[in-house]
Homo-oligomer: A and B are copies of this chain.
């Protein structure tokens, strides 16, 4: 039998295991032009929380009692499509199924001799591209400027910090545990990191960590952490609104200080984005990320959980910050 995971109920607040359901089905069969894929690695990402609600957004919501999905790396185990042969590895937006049938459309062939397969869900996948384009296209950091990253130990944040260093900036991370703060400073290369869970006055802590103020703020978190960064933004500062995980489950942070005042006073900018806005430039992004990875300037931080049935728990753990870097489920 083939294992699949469906959306059992729409979460209220933080997702629960009962919002998901493991369903077994007959093993799928391919016909002419199709390939059979075996899931190898499954990406779990905060943005999926939005798709579990039925609110209108930039991607359609998952349907109740239908399959969940995300970015997957898979192996071709059967092929009736001349473009793919058994043993090929691919990445793409796929369903949460151990085995699934595909026409091969929108799948990218990937090479495990260039980088470990899991990297194609992280630093060489949407995660890396999100960090790269958000930072370079909106943040436009200049050498010597200061970049603050919230959710710094997360999948996107840990890459943003490293690209910031490559670009010659001072990089300060905000994360939720001393362990993450240590990781950011000792392994990932941040100049400074702040544990927001043990810091009483975040505004002051950011001011101390950023003696020249904040030129670029890469925001994965939103909420009160962001208020504290906004208070330290420099003239002509840029805020990249990549995510707002603080609010995905919690409606109490939906209001806060109005931003018009600091935006006007500082001639500052806030801009939201999704990575697909830059789809035309993906090859450029991949080229830079691959080069930095191969030169050792960029390291991939991953938290790998094992077992298909653990996908929902791995996803839920994102909201408790249990991941360092990219959270991936190995099948």
- A residues near B, CB below 8 A? 57-58, 219, 222-223, 226, 235-236, 241-244, 247, 253-274, 277
Nearest B residue to A138 via CB reads: B269
Q: Is the interface of A mostly helix, strand, loop or mixed?
A: mixed
B277 adjacent to A264 (CB under 8 Å): no
Cβ–Cβ < 8 Å partners of A254 in chain B: 257-258, 261
A267 adjacent to B260 (CB under 8 Å): no
A234 to B156, CA, bound (A): 26
Query: Looking at the complex, which one of B267, B269, B273 makes contact with A267 (CB distance below 8 Å)?
Result: B273
Query: Looking at the complex, which one of B255, B260, B266, B271 makes contact with A268 (CB distance below 8 Å)?
Result: B271
A260 to B229, CA, bound (A): 14
A272 adjacent to B255 (CB under 8 Å): no
B266 adjacent to A272 (CB under 8 Å): yes
B272 adjacent to A222 (CB under 8 Å): no
Closest 6 CB pairs of A and B: A263-B272, A264-B272, A222-B260, A269-B271, A244-B260, A241-B263
A85 to B262, CA, bound (A): 43
A253 adjacent to B242 (CB under 8 Å): no
A244 adjacent to B261 (CB under 8 Å): yes
Nearest B residue to A261 via CB reads: B244
A243 to B258, CA, bound (A): 13
B247 adjacent to A264 (CB under 8 Å): no
A256 to B255, CA, bound (A): 5
Additional A-B contact list (7), CB under 8 Å, known A223-B258, A264-B274, A269-B271: A57-B265, A58-B235, A241-B260, A262-B272, A264-B273, A265-B272, A267-B277
A259 to B267, CA, bound (A): 17
Cβ–Cβ < 8 Å partners of A266 in chain B: 58, 272
Nearest B residue to A219 via CB reads: B260
22 contacts between A and B (CB under 8 A): A58-B235, A222-B258, A241-B263, A244-B264, A247-B261, A253-B258, A254-B261, A255-B256, A255-B257, A255-B258, A256-B256, A256-B258, A259-B259, A259-B270, A263-B271, A264-B272, A264-B273, A264-B274, A267-B271, A269-B270, A270-B270, A270-B271
In angstroms, how far is the closest chain B Cβ from the Cβ of A136? 16
